[in-house]
């Protein structure tokens, strides 16, 4: 004996999903719309198995069998009603309903079976014989052809394969030149492609990647780089300071003392320093990192005089007016080369090679000023859509930076390039904001970047 599950009771009350689907389709509907139908997978699966629907060219259509059954109770629905009344149904339909989790074995089954009388068992035997006869009768019935006369086979179904009608059926010809829906495979965002390829190139040139925090103290962002504490670049109109917390922890006291002495009087660097009183309070202020050189300072302190080449491609933040060439958040391609006998000419060679990675064919250098490098230079690249564009600054690290950090005999080449502006050349765009665009048309059609 069986009883209905909760799902079975729901289907008995509201109708089977496949029957509800027939009413929803009416005649035909797009597959995309049908897929949004509640329990669409179950409904479509059983409707196709019952030969109630066909799917052609992403359109779901009712078959004649489907139209007929949309107004009649199916054998499954009749069986659910019988089980609900406590009546017996054929073993075959019971198996299907069990598989669909619409019925379960009643808890009272074994108790009832023990109470069945001899004559009841005899009646069950006759009932089974009758069912077998009905089944044999149905088996001997001549099943109607699935394929109508003159109809072409557009899609093979399990029924067509079982009956063997595919052997004599006529298959529809397919036009390989017919329009097909566009498929947009997943791919990396173009700007990310550029940054990853540049990373690979720099690693191939022997550079190691360095990392640093986005929230930085003024000590590493400015003081360790010999930027005076009254420098305009430290103003609230250029740097984004944190409101909470406002202060961070300064590093080793010995390093802090050396930086303080260098700022105030030059320490052992043969410099006069800036001549102003240096404040720990000012140095401990927290801000959003405004330049990748802060990471270079941390790396130099850890590396000391060991010959090495480091790079970083990461985010920086500055209070700026957003336009075609400026953003408040931007990426720097930061680099340092540590070694003895390094010259300004070596620096220009590195800058030229990196600019050419992005496809820059014309470059020029202009003298520049930065508190932490001397001599200093600004790199410009020519872009036919914008003219000459400033790509970044570079220079030889000053002794006022190197000595406090523990470098006694090495020279350091340093640069900070706006990788976003260089990426504009590689991607052929005239507005830096396109690097972060959500324009699907542009993202889909932009070819893979190769540097």
pLDDT for the residue 129: 55
190-445 CATH fold: BirA Bifunctional Protein; domain 2 (3.30.930)
Only one residue has tokens 């006022």, namely 400
The two tokens of residue 134 are 């009905």
What is the rounded CA–CA span in Å between residue 104 and residue 94? 9
Contacts of 220 (CB under 8 A, 6+ apart): 212, 251, 294, 297, 298
The whole-number pLDDT of residue 150 equals: 63
Q: How far does CA 205 lie from the centroid of its chain?
A: 30
| Rounded distance between C-alpha atoms, residue 391 and residue 383, angstroms | 11
Chain centroid to Cα 127, Å, comes to: 62
- Both tokens of residue 117? 């009388």
User: Is the overall model pTM greater than 0.75, yes or no?
Assistant: no
Between CA 27 and CA 29, with CA 28 as vertex, the angle to 5 degrees is 140
How far apart (Å, rounded) are the C-alpha atoms in residues 373 and 380?
Answer: 18
Number of other CB atoms surrounding residue 287 within 10 Å: 21
Question: What residue ranges do the domains of the chain occupy?
Answer: 2-171, 190-445
Q: How many helices and strands in the chain, by DSSP H and E?
A: 19, 16
315 neighbors 331 (Cβ within 8 angstroms): yes
CB 267 within 8 A of CB 273: yes
Q: What is residue 172's DSSP assignment?
A: P
Please give the C-alpha separations between residue 233 and each of 80, 236, 273, 307, 312, in angstroms, as whole numbers: 80, 8, 18, 31, 22
If you write DSSP's letter for every residue of 246-298 in order, what string do you get?
-B-----HHHHHHHHHHHHH-TTSS-----S---HHHHTBEEE---THHHHHH
The arrangement of strands across the sheet holding 387-397 comes to: 208-209, 308-317, 329-339, 411-418, 387-397, 373-383, 363-370
pLDDT along the chain (451 residues), means of 10: 82 84 83 82 83 86 84 81 82 81 70 50 57 50 58 79 79 78 85 92 94 96 94 75 95 96 96 94 96 96 97 91 80 95 95 87 93 95 89 96 96 94 88 89 79 62
Exposure class string for 235-247: b at 16+ Cβ within 10 A, else e: eeeebeeeeeeee
Rounded distance, CA 52 to CA 21, Å? 10
User: Helix 344-357 crosses helix 190-204 at what angle (to 10 degrees)?
Assistant: 140
Question: Exposed, middle or buried: residue 346 (CB in 10 Å: 0-12, 13-18, 19+)?
Answer: middle
Helices marked H in 116-211: 118-140, 158-163, 190-204
Q: Compute CA 382 distance to the chain's CA centroid, rounded to the nearest angstrom.
A: 34
CA 242/CA 230 separation, integer angstroms? 19
How many other CB atoms are found less than 10 A from the CB of residue 385?
11
Residue 410 has, within 13 A of its CA and on its CB side, a CA count of: 24
pLDDT at 356: 87
> Quick one: which of 190, 183, 151, 168 has its CA closest to 64?
151
So what's the pLDDT on residue 315? 93
Question: Could you give the dihedral angle defined by the CA atoms of residues 265, 216, 233 and 434, in that order, rounded to the nearest 10 degrees?
Answer: 150
Q: Which residues pair with 395 in a beta bridge?
A: 376, 414
φ and ψ of 102, to 5 deg:
-95, -20
What is the pLDDT at residue 139? 47
Distance CA(292)–CA(336), nearest Å, equals 11
């Amino acid at each position: 004996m069986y009883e209905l599950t909760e799902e079975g009771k729901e289907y008995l009350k509201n109708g089977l999903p496949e029957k509800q689907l027939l009413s929803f389709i009416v005649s035909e509907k797009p597959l995309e719309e049908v897929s949004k139908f509640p329990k669409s997978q179950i409904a479509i699966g059983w409707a196709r198995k019952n030969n109630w629907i066909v799917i052609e060219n992403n359109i779901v259509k009712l078959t004649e069998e489907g139209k007929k059954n949309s107004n009649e109770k199916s054998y499954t629905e009749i069986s659910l009603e019988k089980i609900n009344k406590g009546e017996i149904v054929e073993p075959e339909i019971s198996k299907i309903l069990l598989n669909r989790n619409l019925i379960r074995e009643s808890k009272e089954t074994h108790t009832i079976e023990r109470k069945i009388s001899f004559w009841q068992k005899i009646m069950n035997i006759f009932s089974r014989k009758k069912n077998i006869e009905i089944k044999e009768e149905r088996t001997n019935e001549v099943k109607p052809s699935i394929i109508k006369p003159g109809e072409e086979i557009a899609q093979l179904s399990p029924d067509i394969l079982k009956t063997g009608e595919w052997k004599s059926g006529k298959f529809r010809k397919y036009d390989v030149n017919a329009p097909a829906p566009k498929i947009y495979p997943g791919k990396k965002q173009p700007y990310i492609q550029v940054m990853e390829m540049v990373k690979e190139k720099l690693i191939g040139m022997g550079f190691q990647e360095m990392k640093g925090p986005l929230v930085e103290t003024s000590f590493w962002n400015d003081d360790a780089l010999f930027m005076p504490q009254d420098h305009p670049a430290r103003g609230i109109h250029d740097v984004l300071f944190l409101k909470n917390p406002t202060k961070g922890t300064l590093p080793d006291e010995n390093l802090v003392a050396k930086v303080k002495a260098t700022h105030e009087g030059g320490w052992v660097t043969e410099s006069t320093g800036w001549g102003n009183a240096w404040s720990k309070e000012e140095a401990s202020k927290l801000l959003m990192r405004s330049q990748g050189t802060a990471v270079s300072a941390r790396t130099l302190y850890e590396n000391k005089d060991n010959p090495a080449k480091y790079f970083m491609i990461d985010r920086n933040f500055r209070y700026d007016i957003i336009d075609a060439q400026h953003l408040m958040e931007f990426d720097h391609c930061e680099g340092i080369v540590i070694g003895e006998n390094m010259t300004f000419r070596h620096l220009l060679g590195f800058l030229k090679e990196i600019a050419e990675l992005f496809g820059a064919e014309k470059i020029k250098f202009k003298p520049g000023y930065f508190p932490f490098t001397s001599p200093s230079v600004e790199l410009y690249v020519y872009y036919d859509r914008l003219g000459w564009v400033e790509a970044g600054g570079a220079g030889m690290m000053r002794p006022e930076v190197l000595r406090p950090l523990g470098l006694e005999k090495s020279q350091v080449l340093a640069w900070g390039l706006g990788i976003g502006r260089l990426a504009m050349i590689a991607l052929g765009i005239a507005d830096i904001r396109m690097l972060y665009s959500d324009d699907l048309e542009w993202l889909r059609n932009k070819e893979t970047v190769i540097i």
